[in-house]
Amino acid sequence: MRLYLAIIEQKEFQMPANLTPQYFEAEKKLKTAKSPQEKTQILEELLSLVPKHKGTEKLQALLKTKIAKLKSAAQKKPTISKQGPTHHIDKAGAGQIVLIGPPNSGKSSLIKSLTNANPEVGNYPFTTRVPYPAMMLFENTQIQLIDTPPITPDYMEIWHSELIKGADRILLLLDLSCQNQAEILYPLLDKLKEKKIELIPDDQTIPSEAHLFYKIALIVANKTDLPLTEKNLNSLKNALKPGFSVIPISVSHGKGLEGLKKKMFSILHVIRVYSKVPGKKVGFEDPFTLKKGSSVMGLAKAVHKDFAQKLKFARIWSENKYQGQKVNRDHILEDEDIIELHI
């Protein structure tokens, strides 16, 4: 479903009569602009073409706000800050998923296949020494993936466990070329338990015990292209706790990767919401990302606190259900719905 969001009073969208033809030509270019840098340049050009008088004050303010928002977003890139043995990575995109697993399971290769990043990939253990963030594009939404060093019964850095505790979700990647999956899986889970971390399936309610960090996780099995992996896959399924399922993939052959991307988006429990200005087409390239169960009011707060305070009603569109009907501020949104906020 698609939710288009229009955000300003009708009066603020009424253009002054003395805007120049050059302004409207530049405005047309904005509709096809793709990158934030290109949009910023066009918005700055529009601002320079607006006649400076009282009748255009609201339009000038709107353009300046859009420019400031784009510049601010461009500066918020994932960064790694280090203090001694600590590594912290700022969250970005629709959610942060940390990849963990035993040595040589293929985490770095998976990151390389799913993103534009180029982490070091080697056929020897501990190629990855520090966390490596990268952004994965799923349809029109970015998801942050973090490659991490392998976990063994004898090795796990303090910062590694803290990174896992702070993540939105976990992806545990295992190697199907190894025969006895239980001998690999259980020591890894025990090591996490030592650090007060327990992995749970997506459909399990997170327990309330305060002494453990319960993290929703995907179990992914790599190297399905190798011989005898069907037997090893069954061994892994038998070793898992009830509720978990396995997603089989082959990074080297590209098998199962599109399905994995969909599953990663699904377990984040987020929705995409689009914005629409009355009388204009919707841009689908830059959705708002909200938690599942968010309301129209939640969207208004995400746009700006002033909209939340002044919101009167919204109009909503969706693929099969709504066609511009009025809804109140408590209406629950769904993925790819479309709304206009009226204040």
CATH number, position 48: 3.10.20.30
Pair (154, 248) in one structural domain: yes
For residues 19 and 156, the model is more confident at 156
Considering the domain architecture, whether residues 171 and 313 belong to the same structural domain is answered as: no
Domain boundary among 237, 267, 297: 267
113 and 162 share one domain: yes
Q: What is the pLDDT of residue 279?
A: 74
**β-pair type (169-175, 141-147):** unpaired
Please check the confidence at residue 41 and state whether its pLDDT lies above 90: no
pTM, entire model = 0.72
What is the predicted pLDDT for the residue at 219? 97
User: For the chain, how many structural domains are there in total?
Assistant: 2
- Residue 272 predicted with pLDDT over 90: yes
Q: Strand 323-327 and strand 169-175: pairing?
A: unpaired
Report the range of poorest mean pLDDT among 58-62, 72-76, 128-132.
72-76
Which of 292, 181, 293, 153 has its CA nearest to residue 244?
Answer: 181
Residues 116 and 229 in one domain: yes
pLDDT at 315 over 50: yes
DSSP secondary-structure letter at 176?
A: T
Euclidean distance between CA atoms 87 and 272, whole angstroms? 30
Instruction: Identify the CATH number of the domain in which residue 226 sits.
Output: 3.40.50.300
If residue 296 lies in a helix (H) or strand (E), which one and from where to where? helix 296-303
In a domain, 24, yes or no: yes
Question: Looking at the structure, do residues 277 and 258 belong to the same domain, yes or no?
Answer: no
In a domain, 86, yes or no: no
* pLDDT band per the 50, 70, 90 thresholds, residue 278: confident
Burial track 215-242 (b if 16+ CB lie within 10 A, e otherwise): bbbbbbbbbbeeeebeebbebbeebbee
Q: Is residue 160 part of a domain?
A: yes
Instruction: Choose the final residue of a domain: 215, 235, 267.
Output: 267
Asked if the model's pLDDT at residue 243 lies above 70, the reply is yes
Nearest to 126 by CA among 146, 101, 159, 145: 101
- Do 24 and 159 lie in one domain? The reply is no
Is residue 2 domain-resident? no
Q: Is 89 a member of any domain? A: no
pLDDT band at 123 (very low <50, low <70, confident <90, very high): low
pLDDT at 291: 95
Does residue 18 carry a pLDDT above 50?
A: yes
Report the helix count and the strand count for the chain, using DSSP H and E: 10, 14
Whether residues 195 and 209 fall in one domain = yes
Decide if 82 is inside a domain: no
**Same domain (yes/no): 58, 146:** no
Amino acid identity of 173? Answer: L
Residues 101 and 169 in one domain: yes
Q: What domain range includes position 333?
A: 10-75+270-342
Give the span between the Cα atoms of 137 and 111, in whole angstroms.
12
pLDDT at 257: 97
Assess if residue 22 is contained within a domain: yes
Whether the predicted pLDDT of 194 surpasses 70: yes
Residue 187, domain member (yes or no): yes
Let me know whether 166 and 34 are in one domain.
Answer: no
Q: Rounded CA gap, 39 and 71, in Å?
A: 10
For residue 3, name the pLDDT band (cuts at 50, 70, 90): very low
Residue 216 and residue 244: Cα distance in Å, rounded? 10
135 and 260 fall within a common domain: yes
Q: Is the pLDDT of residue 81 over 60?
A: no
Give DSSP secondary structure letters for 41-63: HHHHHHHHHS--SGGGHHHHHHH
If asked whether residues 30 and 132 sit together in one domain, one would say: no
- At 286, the pLDDT band (50, 70, 90 cuts) reads confident
Highest mean predicted confidence (pLDDT) among 121-130, 159-168, 206-215: 159-168
pLDDT score for 256:
96
More confident residue, 7 or 288: 288
- The helix/strand/coil state of 25 is helix
pLDDT at 309: 84
pLDDT(244) > 60: yes
Query: What does pLDDT average to over the chain?
Result: 84
Name which of 16-20, 37-41, 286-290 the model is least confident about: 16-20
User: How confident is the model at residue 12, as a pLDDT?
Assistant: 42
Distance CA 176, CA 191 (A): 20
* Of the residues 267, 282, 297, the one at which a domain ends: 267
